[in-house]
Structure 1
Amino acid sequence: MKPPLIKEQGPATMLPVASSPAVRAYGRLLARRHRGGFATVVGLHTVATLAGLVGPAVLGSLVESLAAGTAQGRIGSAVAWYLAALSVQAAFTGLSRLRGGVLGEEVLADLREDFLVRSVALPPGVLERAGTGDLVSRGTTDIDRLAKSVREAVPELAVAMVSVVLVLGALVITSPLLALTALIGLPLLLATSRWYFRRAPQSYRSESAGYAAVNTVLAETVDAGRTVEALRLGDERVALTDRKIREWTDWERYTLWLRSVWFPTVDSTYALAVLGTLLIGGLFAFRGWVDVGRLTAGVLYAQALVHPVSMILRWYDELQIGQASLARLVGVREVTDPETDDALRPEGRRVEAVDVRFGYREGADVLHGITLDVAPGSRVALVGPSGAGKSTLGRLLAGIYAPGRGRVTLGGAPLARMPAERVRAEVALVNQEHHVFVGTLRDNLRLARADADDTELRAALTAVDAAEWADALPEGLDTEVGSGGAALTPAQAQQLALARLVLADPHTLVLDEATSLLDPRAARHLERSLSRVLAGRTVVAIAHRLHTAHDADVIAVVEQGRISEYGPHPELVAAGGPYAALWRSWRDER
């Protein structure tokens, strides 16, 4: 059976998948972090395995005594030794499995935390290009697939490898000749395993990538459900989903076929090992090269090799699935680390867009060659008809979107590649969307700055005229808000968002009519609060109401995705161009 064709992804549609050396390096990092736990598990199972080696030795000795006619009085002693060794083995095996389970949970928790921390720090532009489906798939499906490997496969593999080494050592000590016969199936095992493991890792990665692609398509379709329905794209999205599902299931079938070939071959090598030891060992015993007691112990040791070798192969196969998922999780770490990349450190506060092109769909740009220079401390207004691209340009300047071509920089550094935390500390988007999270008012405010004390929280509320209603809440800052808590009006929720801005203290704000959805009285009150927040900051205002543009230092008129006019209000009015027409129309409406 041939593997499915690997279809190339677009250059910026998926987050990276880590290379094998990177996965091994991260595995070594986890091993170093948890070396004490690994040492404990290995030590406990070493004791258990050594105790397990006593049984075959005792039985071999007893068989030799029976053959020589000297077993009288030794049976009771042999039973006692056997039971004692069995008890020790059972006790230490139980302890090693318990500690192995704890170790697996600790490693999995560590891995989850690493992934979450790195995901949160991803640059907004990277996430925008990759889409949410890929990251969600890595944080759910890949974590779930990896859980079994980390919880069970890693400790079980360590345990099985210790068992193989100790049992082989006991077999060599018992009889080097029998140790050779126990390895009779090794060539077949190595050949089939090499065949399998050359194909399995990439196949499992492709299977995981296929599942992620299905998730991405479904998430995009659901998220844009109204648009899909309005543009009658349902059949196209269904066809795309069906194609992605077929590609994923093709890889599922292929990996299943690999296992169906490999597993039966592996089972046959176990039978060869035991059968070869018994038959060839019997011939050795017939010729007097080994005695019957050593033959008995050797066969039992060969049989004892079956379980740990089987466990190694079984869990190694499980690790191929886990490794594919781990490669996708570690791949998030391979996005350029903004904290160590000097090219992503802004030098200054100037925001620049140079020859920027952007489209929500490939080949359908909504911005065409935009160039804009926003000086620190200035106020720039973006005006123009609805659908001209003002809000899209604002999101590019806020680092929410990454340009398709051209560049948007802050202090010379590409804004869309900076980590989210740094972007939000430098530039913030203020629009009609505001969120009140479940928790206390204090928790909601500290989302902007976790180390803010109550004095700073109250100062932020006072700065946006929110202190009065905040103090009137039943428990003040400790009042539960959000779903199931105290209800905040839309104006209060927007003031809460502005208070977060005061705490975060970004030097540049992009305003997309934050008050347009409020009633006029609440909007006027909130605009007074907003004016305090804007003091001393660089402001890019997307002006649907032209009085905002009137007060700006400079105005950019956006028409059909291009800047058609640029200059201060008096000059543009005097020029009699598109802005003058908009201004006259707005004045007449008032």
Structure 2
Amino acid sequence: MTRLLPVASAVQARRYARDLIRRYPAMFRATVALHAAAALAGLAGPRLLGDMVQGIHDGVPLDRLDRLALMIGGFVLAQSVLIRFAHLASARLGERVLARLREEFVTRVLGLPLSTVEAAGSGDLLTRTTRDVDALSKCVRFAVPETLIALITLLLVVAALLLVSPVFAVPLLIGVPIMTVGTRWYLRHAPRGYLRQNAAYSDVTEGLTETVEGARTVEAMRRQLQRAGRTDADLRRSWRAERYTLRLRTVWWPVIEISYVLPMVLTLLAGGLLYLHDTVTLGELTAAVVYVQQLVDPLDRLVGWLDELEVGGAALARLLGVTADPQPQPAVTTAPDGTRVELCGVRFGYEPGREVLHGVDLVLEPGERLAVVGVSGAGKSTLGRLLAGVYQPTSGTITVGGTPLAALPPERLRAEVALVTQEHHVFVGTLRDNVAMVRPGVHEGEVRAALTAVQALHWADALPDGLDTVVGAGGHPLSPAQAQQVALARLVIADPHTLVLDEATAMLDPRAARDLERSLAAVVSGRTVVAIAHRLFSAHDADRVAVVEDGRITELGPHDELVAAGGAYAALWRSWQGGTEPAEMSEHA
């Protein structure tokens, strides 16, 4: 069962956003100053236009009207230039902030414990790294600067309106309560709605990813209708979540429209009455009406982008929530004393109250080869992942050289213990970079030696550009066996002293599996090996065999002794030798 990653609180998101902006104080001040200057330049036009109308009414000379017209044109030109540089400054600041945020998010994702990633599933993390990053990118690039511009313009226009005559600000008081109540209602419901919408989209992505990755299993088990039903249910939840946020917008936007159209109408009516009673001049009335009209654009902008700010805020909370899970204990600075691996009273459960392993005690001596066998669901693969540090025990300890495994930083952990499974990944990049990624900058000779050790150098040199051939998505395709050899070559570079093998060749065809077994033999030579044996042929040659039943090690010893003892292992061995391997001994535990 997948568990969505946590979501940061609104307070945490706002604090992070403020801290991010404060890292670039000079750029932020310059951006605000340019936008303020552009808004001020735009305020001169209505006042000069009012003077021109009043001048025409009073019959002033044409040369004075010409000067007013030229001044209006000059301020419009100045505003255009200032707006251009203000937008450039906003773009630079936005890109700088976005780059920093993306770098920090990638660091957060790469620092996640593997157990957290496996528990959350790929769908939620994929949604956060794509859809949420895109939403936040749009927010930082456009919504934040546009909202900033709108707020600055609003403040300055209201100030200019008050300078014309305080009486013209009275109609604005009619619209402010309407806008305030509507916006507060929207902001009270929108964050929760957008978080639910993004979570629902994560479920859709998770379900589709599972279906695509397990397409063969779905087809073999004839579960197409079930998977289609799961997708339909996820889409219905996503539709309901998006319908909720759409309903919020369809209520909020008309309220905002009324809140700024109504003051403009009242200004015309009240201003006309005041002019008829000689309380204000025609020029003041003209300037006031134009200023109120100028409020429409920043208000429209604010309404339009405030919705994007809510979407971006929800995306930021989800991105920050990636590391909200409790982290392992602080890494130690002392190196392990030796390579002896010891499990003491280890218990583990994927969910609270449902243990998979119960009080496991085990000691791995340096250079030992241990085979772990048992029926499907007994806990073999779980034990292997605990040994590799993928999961942390619920209670008990796992140490290597006397140092807790959980206290080792990831880069040091992989130099001590490594997990080899059927799963492997070829990253986009050169073959050289794919092999050397565990130790960037390693000499080419070591890369070639690693490929030689796993019997892969012959086909690597035969690639179009040799080690510089680009592989991975969109690059030169590698067969499953070649991709697994690349993964094994990485292990040679990493040089861990203990390997946990979870049927690394089980999914390959027999010929490719035989070739890869020889590559694997070169990697395991001289190392401590824990082989999770879903088939018993690999247990015969092991130094010891551990039988796992119901989350406990019930038998432990050499193959011959366990067969002679006539216990659970002997029964499994006789069944396998007789060609009637129990159905429970599946390829996946």
Q: 1:407 to 1:301 in 2, by over 3 A?
A: farther
- 1:381 correspondence with 2:343: no
Shift of residue 347 of structure 1? 7.8
Q: 1:138 to 1:177 in 2, by over 3 A?
A: same
Contact 2:162–2:169 (CA under 8 A) maintained in structure 1: yes
Question: What are the residue-to-residue correspondences of 1:111-510 with 2, within 5 Å?
Answer: 111-336=101-326, 341-342=329-330, 348=336, 350-352=341-343, 354-356=345-347, 367-369=356-358, 371-375=360-364, 377=366, 379=368, 381-384=370-373, 387=376, 389-400=379-390, 409-410=398-399, 423-437=413-427, 439-461=429-451, 464=454, 477-480=467-470, 494-510=484-500
Q: Match of 2:49, as an amino acid?
A: L
Q: Give the secondary structure class of the aligned counterpart of 1:13.
A: coil
Q: Quick check: 232-241 or 204-213, which moved more?
A: 232-241
The unaligned stretches of length 5 or more in structure 2 are 580-589
Q: Match of 2:418, as an amino acid?
A: A
> Which digits, 9 at most, give the CA deviation of each residue in 1:72-105, with x for residues without a partner?
4311111111111111112222332344344434
* Structure-1 separation of matches of 2:174 and 2:426: 68
* Structure-2 separation of matches of 1:260 and 1:406: 52
- 1:556 correspondence with 2:549: no
Shift of residue 153 of structure 1? 0.6
* Structure-2 separation of matches of 1:524 and 1:256: 57
Contact 2:454–2:520 (CA under 8 A) maintained in structure 1: no
Q: Give the secondary structure class of the aligned counterpart of 1:250.
A: helix
* Structure-1 separation of matches of 2:261 and 2:480: 73
* Structure-1 separation of matches of 2:505 and 2:295: 73
Q: Quick check: 205-214 or 419-428, which moved more?
A: 419-428
Shift of residue 124 of structure 1? 0.8
Which of the numbers 53, 56, 66 marks the counterpart of 2:46? 56
Q: Give the secondary structure class of the aligned counterpart of 1:563.
A: strand
Q: 1:76 to 1:353 in 2, by over 3 A?
A: farther
Who is 1:526 aligned against? 519
Q: Match of 2:444, as an amino acid?
A: D
Q: 1:528 to 1:448 in 2, by over 3 A?
A: same
* Structure-2 separation of matches of 1:449 and 1:143: 29
Shift of residue 163 of structure 1? 1.1
Q: Give the secondary structure class of the aligned counterpart of 2:63.
A: coil
Give the number of aligned pairs. Answer: 571
* Structure-2 separation of matches of 1:357 and 1:336: 17
Q: Quick check: 561-570 or 21-30, which moved more?
A: 561-570
Q: Match of 1:522, as an amino acid?
A: D
Contact 2:345–2:395 (CA under 8 A) maintained in structure 1: yes
* Structure-2 separation of matches of 1:582 and 1:28: 63
* Structure-2 separation of matches of 1:255 and 1:132: 26
Q: TM-score, normalised by structure 2?
A: 0.84
The unaligned stretches of length 5 or more in structure 1 are 1-9
Q: 1:353 to 1:217 in 2, by over 3 A?
A: farther
Q: 1:271 to 1:414 in 2, by over 3 A?
A: farther
Shift of residue 211 of structure 1? 1.6
Who is 2:584 aligned against? none
* Structure-1 separation of matches of 2:325 and 2:412: 16
Q: 1:363 to 1:215 in 2, by over 3 A?
A: farther
Contact 1:17–1:331 (CA under 8 A) maintained in structure 2: yes
Q: Match of 1:352, as an amino acid?
A: L
Shift of residue 38 of structure 1? 3.2
Contact 1:381–1:548 (CA under 8 A) maintained in structure 2: no
| Identity among equivalent pairs (%) | 48
* Structure-1 separation of matches of 2:472 and 2:295: 60
> Which digits, 9 at most, give the CA deviation of each residue in 1:19-77, with x for residues without a partner?
00111122113212344443343232222212111111111222333344435431111
Contact 1:353–1:397 (CA under 8 A) maintained in structure 2: no
Contact 2:132–2:315 (CA under 8 A) maintained in structure 1: yes
Shift of residue 137 of structure 1? 1.3
Shift of residue 265 of structure 1? 1.5
* Structure-2 separation of matches of 1:550 and 1:152: 65
Shift of residue 164 of structure 1? 1.5
Q: Match of 1:529, as an amino acid?
A: A
Shift of residue 199 of structure 1? 1.2
Q: Quick check: 423-432 or 327-336, which moved more?
A: 423-432
Shift of residue 358 of structure 1? 5.2
Q: Quick check: 311-320 or 68-77, which moved more?
A: 68-77
Who is 1:73 aligned against? 63
Contact 1:379–1:541 (CA under 8 A) maintained in structure 2: no
Q: Quick check: 461-470 or 17-26, which moved more?
A: 461-470
Q: Match of 2:188, as an amino acid?
A: R
Q: 1:558 to 1:228 in 2, by over 3 A?
A: same
> Which digits, 9 at most, give the CA deviation of each residue in 1:491-518, with x for residues without a partner?
7655443331122233431023446656
* Structure-2 separation of matches of 1:560 and 1:486: 45
Who is 1:27 aligned against? 17
* Structure-2 separation of matches of 1:299 and 1:490: 72
Q: Match of 1:30, as an amino acid?
A: L
Contact 1:397–1:408 (CA under 8 A) maintained in structure 2: no
Who is 2:587 aligned against? none
Q: Match of 1:318, as an amino acid?
A: E
Q: Quick check: 376-385 or 171-180, which moved more?
A: 376-385
Contact 2:331–2:408 (CA under 8 A) maintained in structure 1: no
- 1:15 correspondence with 2:5: yes
Who is 2:586 aligned against? none
Q: Match of 1:526, as an amino acid?
A: S
* Structure-1 separation of matches of 2:100 and 2:345: 42
Q: 1:65 to 1:493 in 2, by over 3 A?
A: closer
Contact 1:473–1:479 (CA under 8 A) maintained in structure 2: yes
* Structure-2 separation of matches of 1:308 and 1:243: 41
Q: 1:70 to 1:449 in 2, by over 3 A?
A: same
Who is 1:7 aligned against? none
* Structure-1 separation of matches of 2:534 and 2:323: 41
Q: Give the secondary structure class of the aligned counterpart of 1:185.
A: helix
* Structure-2 separation of matches of 1:67 and 1:546: 104
Q: Give the secondary structure class of the aligned counterpart of 2:190.
A: helix
Q: Match of 1:333, as an amino acid?
A: T
* Structure-1 separation of matches of 2:388 and 2:130: 29
Shift of residue 530 of structure 1? 2.5
Q: Give the secondary structure class of the aligned counterpart of 1:73.
A: helix
Q: TM-score, normalised by structure 1?
A: 0.83
Contact 2:366–2:528 (CA under 8 A) maintained in structure 1: yes
